[in-house]
Amino acid sequence: MGAMTIIGTGSYAPGVPIPNAALARVMDTNDAWIRQRTGIEQRHFARDGETVSELGAHAARRALRSAGITAAEVDYIVFGTMTPEYAFPGPGGLLGAKLGIEGVPALDLRQQCASAPFGLQVANGLLASDAARTVLFVCAEAHAGFMPWRDWDVVRGESTREVAEEDYARATRHRGVAILFGDGASAMVLRHTTRDGAGFLGAECHSDGARADLMYMPGGGFTRLPFFSLDVIEFELCYPQMRGPELFKSAVTELAGVVRSLCARHHVALDEIDCVVAHQANDRINSAVRKALGLPPEKVPSNIARYGNTSSATVGILLDELRADGRVKEGDLICVVALGAGLHWGAALLRL
Ligand code: UT7
């Protein structure tokens, strides 16, 4: 039967890039701080009404084209996002309808920034159990909706008007999150290969709800009666809460640990890995992980400067770029690794 392999990738980012300096117009931050602490220089933001199933459809069409197949050949959709267009239903089925493949099963993942290793593990299970022959794995995010400002005209440079003092103060209270995230989508087409030695070696995934408070969205969940009220806005529960430095430490420890553990389980020496395709949350996290694993910089590529943290989509966008410019190629052993709110984290090994 062979092992699962990636036969196509695609990615998409909405609109024009928004540089760090644009964020400094609506809150107390600056380009130098953002670059030094994160490596981010710009990000993209979805427009009002631009949803993850729409962003995902752009990436999916590109991935299908790169795989040389049509949507009609997809028999399972797996969709990862933490910013779905509705509390329910999830975006997977909506994506299927946009691609004209209504009726194809769609599974929505809730693993946030850790969607890539979880999604690959699930897709491998679907293929191995013969539930599917061609899995379309899409990740997309529209974080723009939880940005803590209303002054989109100022952020986008369409107006130079003054921002109200209370709006500036609110955005500044949430600046730690606001500077990190950007919008985008990625897609992978997954199938079994008959090529000798190629394909998925395995994945290791973990979850720890005891650390859910390191990053979560307090409002909009079905905790309160009624589940949504003006309190959600008044008490600023519609913005994620993040304990940044603690999350940073968890990320460095768990990401390095899961790569080591997965490699040991599959008898792969760390220096056999050609490329670590790591979640792009912060360049400083990835450089600490890289040092802990003793890997050279060229084996842990980064594109966070151009996209910020696109949560579930970072790994797929980066992989798409690496395939397109030849930094990864057939025969390379790649290790996907990611950690996200939940906490959820994991790694996957795959020979392209
Ligand atoms: O995808 C998974 C989810 N996210 C992550 O993995 C993120 C993990 N955490 C991080 O990447 C980092 O913790 C941050 C980038 C969020 C923050 O960097 P940090 O080096 O941990 O900074 P900090 O929160 O300890 O803040 C340092 C200083 C503070 O000022 P004082 O108290 O030292 O005077 C902050 O108020 O930097 C200040 N600060 C800012 N200044 C300008 C915090 N955010 C900003 C900002 N602009 N945006």
Residue 141 CA from chain centroid, whole number: 7
CA distance 310 to 54: 15
CA distance 242 to 250: 13
User: Which of 36, 43, 82, 248 to probe ligand 1 with, by most ligand atoms within 8 A of CB?
Assistant: 248
Q: Which tokens is 47 given?
A: 């427009």
Please check whether residue 31 is in contact with residue 226, taking contact to mean a CB–CB distance below 8 angstroms: no
CA distance 121 to 211: 22
Q: Which tokens is 190 given?
A: 């997954």
| Reported pTM | 0.97
User: Rounded to the nearest whole angstrom, what is the distance from the C-alpha of residue 176 to the centroid of ligand 1?
Assistant: 5
Helix runs in 197-268, H state only: 230-234, 244-265
Residue 303 CA from chain centroid, whole number: 12
Closest CA to 69 of 119, 129, 10: 10
Report in angstroms the alpha-carbon separations of 193 from 4, 74, 124, 221. 6, 16, 12, 41
Q: Which tokens is 135 given?
A: 């899995």
Q: Which atom of ligand 1 is nearest to the CA of 175?
A: 48
Query: Kindly report the CA angle at 83 between 27 and 106, in degrees rounded to 5?
Result: 165
**Residue having the nearest C-alpha atom to atom 35 of ligand 1:** 176
Is-catalytic flag, 174? no
Please check whether residue 66 is in contact with residue 9, taking contact to mean a CB–CB distance below 8 angstroms: yes
CA distance 90 to 174: 27
Q: Is there an atom of ligand 1 within 6 Å of 45 CB?
A: no
Q: Is there an atom of ligand 1 within 6 Å of 175 CB?
A: yes
User: Which of 246, 282, 287 to probe ligand 1 with, by most ligand atoms within 8 A of CB?
Assistant: 282
**pLDDT per residue of the chain (352 residues) written in tens, 0 to 9:** 689 999 999 999 999 999 999 999 999 999 999 999 999 999 999 999 999 999 999 999 999 999 999 999 999 999 999 999 999 999 999 999 999 999 999 999 999 999 999 999 999 999 999 999 999 999 999 999 999 999 999 999 999 999 999 999 999 999 999 999 999 999 999 999 989 889 999 999 999 999 999 999 999 999 999 999 999 999 999 999 999 999 999 999 999 999 999 999 999 999 999 999 999 999 999 999 999 999 999 999 999 999 999 999 999 999 999 999 999 999 999 999 999 999 999 999 999 9
Tally the C-alpha atoms within 13 A of residue 155's C-alpha that lie toward its C-beta.
25
Query: Kindly report the CA angle at 319 between 313 and 321, in degrees rounded to 5?
Result: 105
